[in-house]
Structure 1
Amino acid sequence: MTMLGTFIKPVHREGYKFIAIFAVVTALLFLLPIKIFGWIGVGLTVWCYYFFRDPKRVTPERQGLIISPADGVVSMIQPAVPPAELEMGDDQMLRISVFMNVFDCHVNRAPIAGVVENISYRPGKFFNASLDKASEHNERNSLSIRMEDGRKIAVVQIAGLVARRIVCDVAEGTGLETGERFGMIRFGSRLDIYLPDGVQPLIALGQSTLAGETVLADLASDEPARTGRKR
């Protein structure tokens, strides 16, 4: 990667209008006598561009690997029942929650290859996405992905305290490859991933993830759940 490529990233199409708005407002701020407001606008415009960045990622391709669908921090690992609207039953599955703050890349990627069997959007509230109750009460968009062996995982896009729009770019029946982009959430949010029965996480609570790169679990592994320690 070149030095320029380190700092200049592609932008998701959802970001173009926001970056343009920030840039126009910044230009108007420079017309004011106090120029510091213009420079504040420059900083906010750069942040807006950075928020909507859509960098390329190198996705591990071995069959059975479940990859993180989001950049962020693993905020919860616990049993939970998948959203009822996905009709995946009442049994608990292991849920991994990845919390994205406003500085993370917000483009979401498929955690594993399969066919999108069900998509269900549900309006709701806007609690802080790091809270457990956000899974139940916040605005969300839920997807179930059926793998080649017939097993399913669920991926849930959850709006956060600041987020006000969930973007989903796929439809029911769409085939996805592991790491393929399927949507994004604007301005702070969370992704929940529900693992098939018996699959243990290979990631620790508090660990940082990269969408399309970080391995969350392995369908073929019998390794026990991992723990982590801050150092």
Structure 2
Amino acid sequence: IIAFAAVLCYGFLMFINRAPARTIPPGRNIVSPANGRLIAVTKVDGPDLTFFKDGLKNILAVNELNPPVWILLVEMNLKDVHVQRSPIDGVISRQQYFPGKFKNVLTAKNKSELVNLNEKMLTIIKGEGLSVGVIQVAGQAARRIKSDVKAGQSVLKGEIFGRITLGSQVVLLLPGNLELKVQAGQKVVDGETIVAEY
């Protein structure tokens, strides 16, 4: 029984940590950094972002993005791929870790608010003519955020730069002048789904 449980656990961890090959779309587009469901899309007018039920205000200072800013919240469940990919070609201009509490992402009533409460990592990527941000958010089960990059490092669109253990959330921050190609409620695929063009 113990051996079976160990094999089952190992198989589950291998499944969670998989990173299938993705077909990265060419051209001046921004791809989803995460695999999951897009549960919220909001535009805010300031660089200080706090997530509430219907909007954001005053928690993370993201001065690299001039307001207005698009906020796209992707929720990952246990079946989704848990690696995060760079939305664009560029250079990591900022990476900042924020310790926090751990709340259960899958059972929370106000899922957007978890971005305020939970452990998170903000990564800003400066590309050609624009900067984008990715926030990795840890959940109750996902108490570990891993990043494979550091400030000053170059990344390619679709390149894996980090992962979150088990189900949680990823937030994509984009310049508000872009026209989005996605909407709340749809599934997105890391490195493949085009979120916007520039």
Range class of TM-score, shorter chain:
0.7 to 0.9
Q: Deviations over 1:104-157 (max 9, x none)?
A: 1101100011111000001001223361111222110001111122x2111111
Letter in 1 for 2:184: L
Matched, 1:166 2:142: no
Matched-pair contact (CA < 8 Å) for 2:76–2:82: yes
Whether 1:115 aligns to 2:91 is: yes
2-side partners of 1:155 and 1:184: how far apart?
Answer: 12
Task: Kindly indicate whether structure 1 or structure 2 has the higher relative contact order, using CA contacts under 8 Å at least 6 residues apart.
Answer: 2
Aligned equivalent of 2:171, options 192, 210, 213: 192
Report the identity percentage: 31
| Matching residue's letter, 1:171 | K
* TM-score w.r.t. length of structure 1: 0.73
* Secondary structure at the counterpart of residue 22 of structure 2: coil
Specify every segment of 5 or more residues in structure 2 that has no aligned partner in the other structure, as ranges: 50-58
Residue aligning to 1:67: 31
Contact 2:65 2:131 in 1 (8 A): no
In the TM superposition, residue 89 of structure 1 has moved relative to its aligned partner by 6.7
Q: TM-score of the superposition, structure 2-length normalised? A: 0.84
The aligned residue for residue 206 of structure 1 is 185
Give 1 or 2: higher helix fraction: 1
Considering only aligned residues, what root-mean-square deviation do their CA atoms show, in Å? 1.9
2:11 is paired with a residue whose SS is helix
| Contact 2:34–2:190, Cα closer than 8 Å, also in 1 | yes
Structure 1 unaligned regions, length at least 5: 1-25, 31-37, 220-231
CA contact (8 A) 1:86 1:143 kept: no
Structure index of larger Rg? 1
Number of aligned positions between the proteins? 182
Map of 1:131-150 to 2, 5 A cutoff?
Answer: 131-149=111-129
Per-residue CA deviation, residues 4-52 of structure 1 (Å, 9 max, x unaligned), is xxxxxxxxxxxxxxxxxxxxxx6xx14xxxxxxx3x5544332221111
The CA deviation at 1:90 is 8.2
